[in-house]
Chains A and B, each alone.
Chain A
């Protein structure tokens, strides 16, 4: 039997100021060319393990135990063996690179340093690697400041950079980040193909069940620093798995879950007539027309650059349309003064899958109270009652109200957005990738929260997403966007069952891909 490439024996990781270890007595053996997936949510210890394996632990982490890499790891508390073993690191696109420097220059510099190449040689190697991945991304797409490169494109660049280093071991640390299922699927497929070609060992750390299913290899479930169980996808997704594992796997949503008939047959709450957004050459044949009735839910589905986000920005008033009319609650918003428009918008709420959606300086209580204070003259007692009721409904009643938003985790922030929406009693809620960046269990809780909110309060939902599974969980009808125009529309159940357009087929396949 060949010598294992990586051997971890009783590795524990402790963080300064915490009593319990973030990873407790973890052991692992990995042979050359083998794949292992570490599936764990936030605080599972998987992130810390990825950092330790990469030789770049956080400054506040103390690692104990034995880490052996190949036969070269005679370690004495330094990172020399990590340099000796050819380890490549494939991080999530968010915050992976310095935002203001060219993404291409940064990636080429990594390849040059790892392979001791000149810049020109490293650039050629990187370009060849990118080409071998057979993505649509070109080297020119990356020759911009990293902050201006989309996460999808950056993910391809990071993967190309990792495989260009001819690694023995590739550590994929949240490799797909928060990118769309279609892109995540393509990235995983390209990585596995490169693995076959280059025969490197792969350690993938991810909280995403869909990514785990796509890799379909030996998987270790981690929770609160401990290994829950280990097995193949077939075993873990089966009925005999640990309760936590089953909960994780059963939280993955299916696009087939879409209801077969629309809900909401009242007056239209939002009507869009012949709308053209700015940024693309105006073609009246591409003008958007649709309506959303009270209590109904409509999904705007499309890949990055398809135009759904441009439409959302126009609907939110961030940008003005090039042409067309928007009627909200029977009022043409185009003829309103800014004061009147602001008043009309009070019946609208936004729940966005981004951390910056809430003011980080506000306290929890102020965040929920603000819409009430801005719109109504309520007594302190009434204000407290409304606020506490909303926080209770989203499960944040126990949270210290004086805590700052900046101190909250992503799930709490997301629930706080829902509480803020609840007190506003909106007619329309715009949901922009509502559970992007959340763990599997948090996604499920968030879905239930939103479904209950809609059931109880009856607002119309406009769901902006690139994932048919998300759309199916929250909406009944959908508009499929591609290249700035609507290419298909109808009941979600029909679109998922019989997608006619190529773009729809691609996204439906991607949404189902993680489940097959």
Chain B
């Protein structure tokens, strides 16, 4: 005749831990990139015809490729190129996409929604195609900008929706009714939203920028030797495998691919693995 209900819940704080882990990982990557010229045993694109196609060993931990380049050194240089370009792409996404979305939400109703509608159309196109299109009409030197612009429509749509929701919220209505100006409200929304979401936006931008840049390079629209990025290294390994008819030199693709996956993973972790419901 006795009811004893004992239920306890602990709220997971996994997201904070994930973010810290992601930021720490990005910090290590940034340090590696900054010191890449010192860590790497050979300068970028140095060819050594006497040591071609060596598998990983004590002398060459990541092996060498068909031109005798040290894959470890090449991966470090490629990581530096990819990361630097991805940062530019992420900042472009932040400014054109996130900030643009915030400002567009304050435009007059029809104009603002017209811009949102246009962003929605571009957002429906695969960012990779947008990036290639941008490079095709400009030049491949602008690949980082192209990657940032290609990822911008989605960021734009997210921030626009969030900002327009905030602009029509009850607290904003009451603030306007008591003479709080539009600029004050915009500043309030920008400061508080960016404080909460900046890391997520930049993290997602970094991840998408890395993916887009590597893919356009893989298809030959991005980086050119001697400044090879990770996508171009993988493309080189792929071309060699296709020419030889087998994939015996797996290390030439595996290590750049792992470095690429690491950057994307850390960027996503730093963004808190958010699903994009917040800008």
Chain A interface (Cβ within 8 Å of chain B)?
16, 52, 57, 59-68, 73-75, 77-79, 81, 316-318, 342-350, 352, 354, 356-362, 370-371, 373-375, 424, 426
Q: Which of B8, B171, B192 has the most CB of A within 10 A?
A: B171
**A341 → chain B closest CB, angstroms:** 9
The chain B residue sitting closest to A16, CB to CB, is B8
**A72 → chain B closest CB, angstroms:** 10
Do A356 and B169 touch (CB < 8 A)? yes
Within 8 A of A (CB), among B194-214: 196
Do B176 and A342 touch (CB < 8 A)? yes
Do A63 and B4 touch (CB < 8 A)? yes
The chain A residue sitting closest to B184, CB to CB, is A374
A352 to B175, CA, bound (A): 12
A424 to B180, CA, bound (A): 11
| Residues on A with beta carbons closer than 8 Å to the beta carbon of B176 | 317, 342, 345
| Residues on B with beta carbons closer than 8 Å to the beta carbon of A347 | 179
The chain A residue sitting closest to B8, CB to CB, is A16
A6 to B270, CA, bound (A): 53
User: Dominant SS at the A interface?
Assistant: mixed
| Residues on B with beta carbons closer than 8 Å to the beta carbon of A343 | 179
Given contacts A348-B177, A359-B188, A370-B180, contact A77 B5 (CB under 8 A): yes
The chain A residue sitting closest to B7, CB to CB, is A59
Do A67 and B3 touch (CB < 8 A)? yes
A347 to B171, CA, bound (A): 18
The chain B residue sitting closest to A74, CB to CB, is B1
CB < 8 Å neighbour of B171 from A74, A75, A359, A371: A359
Do A361 and B192 touch (CB < 8 A)? yes
| Residues on A with beta carbons closer than 8 Å to the beta carbon of B171 | 356-360
Do B4 and A64 touch (CB < 8 A)? yes
Do B178 and A348 touch (CB < 8 A)? yes
Given contacts A66-B1, A359-B188, A370-B188, contact A318 B177 (CB under 8 A): yes
Within 8 A of A (CB), among B1-47: 1-10
Do B177 and A317 touch (CB < 8 A)? yes
CB < 8 Å neighbour of B178 from A356, A360, A371: A371
Q: Can you show 23 pairs from A to B with CB atoms below 8 A apart?
A: A52-B5, A57-B5, A59-B8, A60-B7, A60-B8, A62-B5, A77-B4, A316-B177, A317-B177, A318-B177, A342-B182, A345-B179, A346-B178, A346-B179, A348-B178, A350-B174, A354-B170, A356-B171, A357-B171, A357-B174, A362-B192, A371-B179, A426-B178
Do A66 and B177 touch (CB < 8 A)? no
A150 to B200, CA, bound (A): 38
| Residues on B with beta carbons closer than 8 Å to the beta carbon of A371 | 178-180
**B197 → chain A closest CB, angstroms:** 11
Do B178 and A350 touch (CB < 8 A)? yes
The 5 closest A-B pairs by CB, nearest first: A346-B179, A75-B3, A345-B179, A356-B170, A316-B177
* Residue B225 is within 8 A (CB to CB) of chain A in the complex: no
| Residues on B with beta carbons closer than 8 Å to the beta carbon of A354 | 170
A63 to B2, CA, bound (A): 11
Within 8 A of A (CB), among B143-185: 169-182, 184
The chain B residue sitting closest to A417, CB to CB, is B174
Given A57-B7, A77-B4, A81-B3, 5 more contacts at CB 8 Å? A60-B7, A316-B177, A318-B173, A352-B174, A361-B196
Given contacts A318-B173, A361-B192, contact A59 B181 (CB under 8 A): no
Do A374 and B180 touch (CB < 8 A)? yes
| Residues on A with beta carbons closer than 8 Å to the beta carbon of B8 | 16, 59-60, 62
| Residues on A with beta carbons closer than 8 Å to the beta carbon of B181 | 342, 374
A349 to B177, CA, bound (A): 8
CB < 8 Å neighbour of A73 from B1, B9, B172: B1
Do B9 and A16 touch (CB < 8 A)? yes
A75 to B1, CA, bound (A): 6
**A157 → chain B closest CB, angstroms:** 25
The chain A residue sitting closest to B173, CB to CB, is A318
A74 to B192, CA, bound (A): 53
**A446 → chain B closest CB, angstroms:** 18
Given contacts A317-B177, A346-B178, A348-B177, contact A66 B2 (CB under 8 A): yes
| Residues on A with beta carbons closer than 8 Å to the beta carbon of B7 | 57, 59-62
CB < 8 Å neighbour of B6 from A62, A81, A345, A374: A62
| Residues on B with beta carbons closer than 8 Å to the beta carbon of A358 | 171, 174
| Residues on B with beta carbons closer than 8 Å to the beta carbon of A352 | 174
| Residues on A with beta carbons closer than 8 Å to the beta carbon of B175 | 359, 370
**A1 → chain B closest CB, angstroms:** 19
| Residues on A with beta carbons closer than 8 Å to the beta carbon of B170 | 354, 356-357
| Residues on B with beta carbons closer than 8 Å to the beta carbon of A349 | 178
Do A350 and B6 touch (CB < 8 A)? no
| Residues on B with beta carbons closer than 8 Å to the beta carbon of A61 | 5, 7
The chain A residue sitting closest to B195, CB to CB, is A361
A57 to B5, CA, bound (A): 8
The chain A residue sitting closest to B9, CB to CB, is A59
**A177 → chain B closest CB, angstroms:** 19
Do B179 and A375 touch (CB < 8 A)? yes
A470 to B195, CA, bound (A): 41
Do A66 and B3 touch (CB < 8 A)? yes
A316 to B2, CA, bound (A): 56
A373 to B184, CA, bound (A): 9
A343 to B181, CA, bound (A): 8
| Residues on A with beta carbons closer than 8 Å to the beta carbon of B184 | 370, 373-374
CB < 8 Å neighbour of B3 from A73, A316, A342, A361: A73
A356 to B192, CA, bound (A): 17
A68 to B4, CA, bound (A): 11
A60 to B7, CA, bound (A): 6
A375 to B181, CA, bound (A): 9
A65 to B5, CA, bound (A): 9
A74 to B3, CA, bound (A): 8
A352 to B184, CA, bound (A): 21
| Residues on A with beta carbons closer than 8 Å to the beta carbon of B177 | 316-318, 345, 348, 350
